[in-house]
C-alpha cells in the first residue's frame, strides 16, 4: 500500500509541476485512499502538505488550511510539539489565516513557528525566514511598527544568509524600508533602499 501511495504522490507532483492540477488532484485522492494513517504519520503529513499547496494553487484556501492543520497534527505526533519540523505547517496555517482576515489566528501560528524554529542564526529553513517576515508584515498592518521592525531585521538577517537578493528578500527589504520611514527614520529607510539598489545592479 505504501509503495502504491508513493507512486500516486509522485504522479501528483509531476502533474503539479506540469500545471495539470485536476490530474494532480485525482492522483492525491488515490494516494490518500491507499495510505493507512497508523505507522505512516510522517509520510501522510508530507503528502497533506503537498496537497495543501495544490489547494492553494486552486484558490481553495479553506481546503488547503484543513490539509495544513491535519499535517500539523500528524507532525506533532511524530516529532513533538516543539520541533522545528513544524515550522512549514505553522507558516502555511498562519499565512492562510492572514490572507482571509483572521489576524487573531494568524499571529499565534506565526509566533509559534518562530518559537519552535530554533537558532535563527544557524537555521537553513526558508520557512522560518518567511514566518519572521510574515509576522513583521502582520505587526506593520496593525501599526505595531517597532515590533514589526524587529521582526523585519531578523528576517532580513536570515534572508541575507540564505537567499540574498532573491525576489522575496527584495520585497521584504521594501517593506522594511517603509516601516523605518513610518517610524520617522528616513536615514534608516534610505540605507535599506541603497542596499536594494546595490542588489539589483547587474554584476560586472
- Span 8-61, pLDDT tens digits: 888 888 888 888 888 888 888 888 888 777 778 888 999 999 999 999 988 999
- Span 152-190, pLDDT tens digits: 999 999 999 999 999 999 999 999 999 999 999 999 999
Which cell is 59 given? 484558490
Per-residue pLDDT band for 204 (boundaries 50, 70, 90) equals low
Q: CA 9 from chain center: how many Å?
A: 21
Residue 172: which H helix or E strand, with range? helix 167-182
- CATH C-level class of 1-81: mainly alpha
Domain boundaries, the chain: 1-81
SS3 of 198, please? helix
- Span 109-142, pLDDT tens digits: 999 999 999 999 999 999 999 999 999 999 999 9
Look up the pTM and report it: 0.90
Amino acid at each position: 500500500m505504501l509503495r502504491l501511495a508513493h507512486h500516486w504522490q509522485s504522479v501528483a507532483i509531476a502533474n503539479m509541476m506540469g500545471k495539470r492540477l485536476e490530474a494532480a488532484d485525482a492522483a492525491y485522492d488515490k494516494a490518500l485512499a491507499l495510505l493507512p494513517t497508523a505507522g505512516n504519520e510522517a509520510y501522510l503529513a508530507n503528502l497533506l502538505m503537498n496537497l495543501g499547496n495544490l489547494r492553494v494553487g486552486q484558490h481553495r484556501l479553506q481546503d488547503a488550511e484543513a490539509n495544513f492543520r491535519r499535517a500539523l497534527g500528524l507532525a506533532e505526533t511524530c516529532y513533538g510539539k516543539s520541533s522545528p519540523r513544524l515550522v512549514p505547517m505553522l507558516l502555511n496555517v498562519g499565512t492562510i489565516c492572514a490572507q482571509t482576515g483572521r489576524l487573531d489566528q494568524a499571529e499565534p501560528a506565526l509566533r509559534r513557528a518562530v518559537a519552535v524554529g530554533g537558532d535563527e542564526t544557524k537555521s537553513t529553513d526558508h520557512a522560518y525566514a518567511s514566518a519572521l517576515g510574515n509576522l513583521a508584515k502582520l505587526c506593520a498592518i496593525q501599526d505595531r511598527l517597532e515590533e514589526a521592525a524587529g521582526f523585519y531585521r531578523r528576517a532580513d538577517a536570515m534572508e541575507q544568509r540564505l537567499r540574498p537578493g532573491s525576489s522575496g528578500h527584495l520585497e521584504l527589504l521594501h517593506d522594511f524600508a517603509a516601516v523605518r520611514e513610518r517610524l520617522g527614520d528616513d536615514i534608516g529607510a534610505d540605507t535599506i533602499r541603497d542596499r536594494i539598489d546595490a542588489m539589483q545592479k547587474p554584476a560586472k
